[in-house]
Chains A and B, each alone.
Chain A
Amino acid sequence: MTRPRGLALGVVVVAALAAVPRVARTDAELNFLFLVLLSTTLAQSWNIVAGYAGQVNLGHAAFFGLGALTTRTLWIGGTPVLLAMGAGALVATAFALLIGVVAFRLRGAYFAIGTLALGEILRITVGNVLAEISTLPAATIASYRLADRYYLALALAVATLAVVGALGRSRAGLGMQAIREDEEAAEASGVNALGLKLLALALSTALAGLAGGLFAYYHISYYPSHPFGPHWTFDALLITYVGGVGTLHGPVLGAIFYVLLKEYLAVRWVDFHLLIFGALFIGIVLLLPGGLVEAAARLRALAGRRAP
């Protein structure tokens, strides 16, 4: 898709989404779209480090969790929610940079395993220190409006897509892609690999922290360790790979597909969607490394050849 056409389509879709709360008949529809938007943001944030800079981060839930924990604590304590979310993003990013300087000494599978361990350590620690369920105060529940959460989710998803879109065309984005392709050759071409990997991680975790904050603002009651659970990381990974890793619209397509499948299947078979997505992930990595985005491009090429 050409850039002006893609942008025009984006504007139309966002305008339509903004109108949904006025026309939706039930909260279920709004809730479904909220989950799509949250998943888009989380997957896209993961995509920055993994898809663009080529560093598979399996501890992404840690940053989502830190954002959720910080936001929830401050917001229930009386801080305005946007400010609390900003603080959540800051905490997530600060922690990420601290970890990143060490973790980026590891390459490939070692980086993936190191970050996975980090996420799990944080989840277990939070689960032990904050063992009690976190529930919103009665007054907050009474004034709870899903539409507020929905608009925030829409704004965050749009902002995330704008950030990644701009990154993809920027000098820094090109440098990150060079690192993904061959770190040593990138260094030999003048790219400061560690600096750019830290930048990618900072952007990625700031957005993950905001997504976590949104979750904390949205969910009425949960255990504080829940947002640190590894499924947040693997949701982001599956969505990104199924949609198209290293692309702007891949995580959007992946998120729609994933949430649809999940909501539809969860009604009957609880966690059956994980099995399907796991199989799909293996199939895509082996047969269609570009995900749904590549499948769409191939179909278009095929249709173009058939047409007279």
Chain B
Amino acid sequence: MTLLTVERVSKAFGGVRAVSDVSFTLAAGELVGVMGPNGSGKTTLFNLIAGALVPDAGAIRLRGRDLAGQASHRVCARGVARTFQLVRPFAGLTALDNVLVGRLYGRARERRRAATAEAERLLRLVGLEGRARLRASQLTLMDRKRLELARALATAPELLLLDEFMAGLNPTETESAMALIRRLQGEGVTLLMVEHIVWALMDLAQRIIVLSAGEKIADGAPGAVAADPTVVDVYLGSAGAGRA
């Protein structure tokens, strides 16, 4: 069943067409990767879905209801959560309070007692047990990423957008981040993730969408996308395509 429909969405900044006529759908429970060179419009696409930006044209629907142009807190309440490319936890608040914000607002909007219990469970899920009382500013980069993930999950999303979750991590941390992302599917969340670490994305995603200069140039199974001559051309240039 279709969870998210992105239909002919465009967004321009001045003369630059950041996202141009992009369409795709996500089925519930899917884990889909988005890749593309720098400046190809991945983060803009995320900002459009999350309500941080308003599209110039096109429709974005969650379970058939239009999301485009809604304020980001409303989009979150409808069941779309996100993490940021550069982590943005609430630095001065404790880890527990960070996650509580997501639980008390967002889609769940639980009472304090139930919200606290769920926030503690999510902190354990992402591997932050024992750090609930620490301020977010006292955590390492990897732990801040875990925290942001817990905060996003706390909003009870149907769709979770991960923007370069694995950027800046060392190989060991990348492995544990991948394990964590696999565990998320057990939470019943549909995932759309932008990632530059191609091997990780190939390994995790069931499907990959490739953007180049704001346009979608490929959409399919990881193996098929990797073999697609247009994709190879975008990443390696035509000389690389010739050698391959």
Q: Which residues of A approach B to under 8 Å, CB–CB?
A: 171, 174-175, 177-178, 180-182, 184-193
Instruction: Beyond A181-B92, A185-B84, list 5 extra A-B contacts (CB 8 Å).
Output: A184-B88, A187-B73, A189-B73, A189-B151, A189-B154
- Contact of A185 with B105 in the complex, beta carbons under 8 Å: no
Q: Does B194 contact A (CB under 8 A)?
A: no
Q: List CB contacts (< 8 Å) of B23-82 with chain A.
A: 50, 52, 71-73, 76-77, 81-82
Decide: A175 near B91, CB < 8 A? Known: A188-B50, A189-B155, A190-B76. Answer: no
Cβ contacts under 8 Å, B84 to chain A: 185, 188
Q: List CB contacts (< 8 Å) of B70-108 with chain A.
A: 71-73, 76-77, 81-82, 84, 88-93, 97, 100-102, 104-107
- Contact of B112 with A171 in the complex, beta carbons under 8 Å: yes
- Contact of A175 with B93 in the complex, beta carbons under 8 Å: no
The CA of A190 and the CA of B81, in the complex, are separated in Å by: 9
Show 8 A/B contacts (Cβ-Cβ < 8 Å), sorted by A: A174-B97, A174-B104, A178-B93, A184-B88, A188-B73, A188-B81, A190-B106, A190-B155
- Contact of A186 with B101 in the complex, beta carbons under 8 Å: yes
Interface size on B, residues (CB 8 A): 30
The CA of A184 and the CA of B163, in the complex, are separated in Å by: 15
Which listed residue (B81, B93, B104) contacts A171, Cβ 8 A? Answer: B104
Q: Which residues of B approach A to under 8 Å, CB–CB?
A: 50, 52, 71-73, 76-77, 81-82, 84, 88-93, 97, 100-102, 104-107, 109, 112, 151-152, 154-155
Cβ distance B218 to chain A, nearest Cβ, rounded Å: 29
Decide: A193 near B90, CB < 8 A? Known: A171-B112, A186-B101, A188-B82. Answer: no
Cβ contacts under 8 Å, B71 to chain A: 187, 192
Cβ contacts under 8 Å, B104 to chain A: 171, 174-175
